[in-house]
């Protein structure tokens, strides 16, 4: 024992440094593990070999997007409730001016294209009268379309397909969705490496002083990297429910404790990045069920044209011809669909506020069970978690070897 104490006294700076080096190992291994979860977005390495890496989240983007979407659509969001909050009359008022301009352009273009002689021969007053009649019926058409979309929402919008496609195509968005809602947990993992590493480093220095065994350093380095990675990840999620210790302290997984904050952040991200008005319009107009909406619009436009032409239908049929009239209806519907995104964009502010997606997601997330709530983040760690822990152990082992070289020289 005297020899051990004498050695510590003579080399105290080296012994004092061991816990700090161990803390550094703990921190570095955690930072590496965190970055490996999210970076790089694309596979980087030597082509044709296994020597490379792609972030765990972007590499399993499809699976994680599906998990996030299932949680969103099953527990956090009812798209029918979202659309029920929209007032059809208010939509018509919000887009009134751009709608009138669109009807004016469409009417003049279609009539000039399909019956130029008749249109050109009409006096300007008559042309204006026809356009005004079509414009007068357009707000009713908007309300009718909105009501039909609401009643047949599942037929025209596949929100699950839209969400998965959005998150899969935009890997940076998927990473941001997970990283932004778990930033404090990531910081906790990194900090925990310092604390756990320092404590184990003290034990490491004592064992080295007693044994002088070269394997002590790399083995402890590997244990620090391996064990602290594993423990830090566990402490994020467990215990799920608050547990009282010694009637004074409360233990609960950090992610579970932050549910109120996470619910707010997640709701805002979903509303701002995923279930936006442009994204919903894109899915409705170009998604897998868009053909049903197109059929709905074509039918309603045709009915509107027939209604306007009803008073003089025999004359219109003779002047234009039945086939030509049907072509005009299809052309008018196609132009209406083409103009729809730009027209609806003028109501984006109202729609975003009315749908209030962020608030709905936040409220429903607060009602999840601890296990359901954990599913928001846990898959990001569970997938290839063992690889991250092993990497931490390997880095710790290498740094431990460097410690041995320093101690021996």
- Kindly report the number of other CB atoms within 10 A of residue 218's CB atom: 18
d(CA 98, CA 84): 24
List, in sequence order, every residue forming a beta bridge with 244; answer none if it has no partner. Answer: 250
Tell me the pTM: 0.77
| φ/ψ of residue 196, rounded to 5 | -60, -40
Q: Are the C-beta atoms of 88 and 143 separated by less than 8 Å?
A: yes
pLDDT given for residue 21 in this prediction: 80
Please give the pLDDT value at position 227.
Answer: 75
**DSSP letter string, 137-187:** HHHHHHHHHHHHHHHTHHHH--HHHHHHHHHHH-HHHHHHHHHHHTHHHHH
CB count, 10 Å around CB of 285? 17
pLDDT of residue 134: 76
Residue indicated by tokens 């009268």: 129
Question: How far is it, in rounded angstroms, from Cα 32 to Cα 72?
Answer: 30
- 199 contacts 269 by C-beta, under 8 angstroms: no
Q: Buried (b) or exposed (e) across 263-279, using 16+ Cβ within 10 A? A: bbbbbbbbbebbbbbeb
**What CA–CA distance (Å, rounded) separates 149 from 159?**
14
Gap between the Cα atoms of 79 and 103, Å rounded: 30
| pLDDT confidence of residue 352 | 93
pLDDT averaged over 10-residue windows placed end to end, the chain, 409 residues: 74 80 79 83 84 83 84 87 90 89 85 70 70 80 87 88 88 87 84 81 78 75 73 80 81 87 91 91 88 86 72 50 73 87 91 93 91 79 64 69 62
Distance CA 303, CA 305 (A): 5
| Torsion, CA 285, CA 57, CA 379, CA 194, rounded to 10 | -140
Bridge partners, 251 (sequence order): 243
Given this model, what pLDDT does residue 312 score?
46
Half-sphere exposure for 5 (CA within 13 Å, toward CB): 2
pLDDT of residue 248: 78
- pLDDT at 408 (0 to 100): 60
Give, for 317, the enclosing helix (H) or strand (E). helix 313-320
Query: CA-CA-CA-CA torsion for 115, 117, 121, 123, nearest 10 degrees?
Result: 30
């Amino acid at each position: 024992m005297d020899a051990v104490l004498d050695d510590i006294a003579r080399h105290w700076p080296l012994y004092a440094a061991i816990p700090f080096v161990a803390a550094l190992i703990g921190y570095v291994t955690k930072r590496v593990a965190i970055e490996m979860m999210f970076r790089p977005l694309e596979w980087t390495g030597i082509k044709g070999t296994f020597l490379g890496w792609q972030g765990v989240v972007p590499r399993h983007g499809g699976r994680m997007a599906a998990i996030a979407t299932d949680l969103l659509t099953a527990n956090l969001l009812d798209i029918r409730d979202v659309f029920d909050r929209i007032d059809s009359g208010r939509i018509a008022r919000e887009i009134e001016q751009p709608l009138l301009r669109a009807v004016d352009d469409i009417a003049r273009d279609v009539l000039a294209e399909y019956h130029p002689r008749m249109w050109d021969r009409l006096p300007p007053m008559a042309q204006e009268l026809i356009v005004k009649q079509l414009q007068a019926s357009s707000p009713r058409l908007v309300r009718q379309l909105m009501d039909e979309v609401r009643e047949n929402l599942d037929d025209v919008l596949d929100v699950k397909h839209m969400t998965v496609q959005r998150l899969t195509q935009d890997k940076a968005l998927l990473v941001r969705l997970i990283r932004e809602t778990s930033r404090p947990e990531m910081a906790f993992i990194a900090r925990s490496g310092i604390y756990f590493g320092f404590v184990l480093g003290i034990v490491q220095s004592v064992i080295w002083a007693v044994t002088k065994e070269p394997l002590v350093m790399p083995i402890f380095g590997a244990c620090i990297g391996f064990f602290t990675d594993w423990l830090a990840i566990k402490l994020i999620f467990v215990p799920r429910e608050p547990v009282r210790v010694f009637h004074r302290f409360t233990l609960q997984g950090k992610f579970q404790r932050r549910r109120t904050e996470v619910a707010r952040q997640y709701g805002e991200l979903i509303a701002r990045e995923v279930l936006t008005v442009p994204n919903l319009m894109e899915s409705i107009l170009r998604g897998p069920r868009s053909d049903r909406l197109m059929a709905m619009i074509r039918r309603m436009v045709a009915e509107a044209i027939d209604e306007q032409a009803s008073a003089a239908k025999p004359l219109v049929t003779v002047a234009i011809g039945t086939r030509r009239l049907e072509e005009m209806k299809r052309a008018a519907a196609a132009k209406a669909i083409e103009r729809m995104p730009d027209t609806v964009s003028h109501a984006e502010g109202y729609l975003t506020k009315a749908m209030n997606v962020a608030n709905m997601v936040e409220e429903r997330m607060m009602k999840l069970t601890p296990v359901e709530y954990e599913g928001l983040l846990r898959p990001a760690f569970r997938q290839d978690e063992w690889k991250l822990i092993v990497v931490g152990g390997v880095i710790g082992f290498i740094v431990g070897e460097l410690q041995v070289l320093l101690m021996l020289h």
